[in-house]
Amino acid sequence: MKLSFLSYLKQNHYADLDLKAVLFDMDGVLYDSMPAHASSWHDTMVEFGYHTTDHIKFYLHEGRLGKSTINIITEKEFNRKATEKEQQKIYARKTELFQQYYSGGTMPKAKEVLTFVQANGLKPILVTGSGQPSLLDRLDTHFPGVFTPKTMVTAFDVEHGKPDPEPYLMGLQKGGNLKPNQAIVIENAPLGIESAVGAGIFTIAVNTGPLPDSVLTNAGASAVFGSMEALLETMPEILQLSQTIRI
């Protein structure tokens, strides 16, 4: 971890970290929802007559706004942009199937990671590309008192979703106009990592899906953990380094 922090500071021209907040992605980090997302995307696209769909592809699109994913897949398959009506119909169906497929499970130890962050005086901020209206209710049920609308960035807040840096830049703003070296990001998806690294933030990947670690490293992650459990075990070291490391 130490070398990762040092190389982050050097690359981004900071002398130290002044950690105030931890920015969390949602799907695949706090919720074990990615298999249901991938299956609902796959089945929706098949229903709408798309052929070049396979599950792994949707893990690579993870984090994008729904309309962007639909546009990219339509362009690849039919050589044109999706109409606004198509975007709406496809995303509505995808959301409907997701609700059928997803049992609502959280990622093991996600709650404990959030508790650790709060207990150490750091602010947890949510940065998701998701645009489900019931999001806040669900978060409040599973992680009571952790997130409020003031500490959440969702699909409704941004013009450009991940991999654009906008969502994570807005997360820094919502954290209290923080500088990039005042936060760290926990992400599971390559496009989310790209977004966070683009915003200049130290980014830790938790590889909870089927992609190889190298995809997350190549996207710019400074460290990769195999699970939220593994991250939780290392959180004390991460916190300690963030308070002491200097160049």
* Residues near Mg ion (CB under 5 A): 25, 27-28, 188-189
Among residues 224, 219, 113, 89, which one has the least CA distance to residue 162?
219
Ramachandran category for residue 177: left, alpha or beta (phi over 0 → left; psi -120 to 50 → alpha): left
Q: Of 14 and 102, which has the nearer Cβ to Mg ion?
A: 102
d(CA 74, CA 42): 13
In DSSP terms, 187 is beta-bridged to 205
Among residues 48, 43, 47, which one has the least CA distance to residue 58?
43
In the bound complex, what is the minimum distance in angstroms from residue 84's beta carbon to Mg ion? 26
In the bound complex, what is the minimum distance in angstroms from residue 28's beta carbon to Mg ion? 4
Q: Of 14 and 147, which has the nearer Cβ to Mg ion?
A: 147
Q: Of 14 and 202, which has the nearer Cβ to Mg ion?
A: 202
In the bound complex, what is the minimum distance in angstroms from residue 63's beta carbon to Mg ion? 6
d(CA 27, CA 65): 13
Q: Of 17 and 186, which has the nearer Cβ to Mg ion?
A: 186
In the bound complex, what is the minimum distance in angstroms from residue 141's beta carbon to Mg ion? 19
Q: Select the residue whose beta carbon is closest to Mg ion and give its number.
A: 28
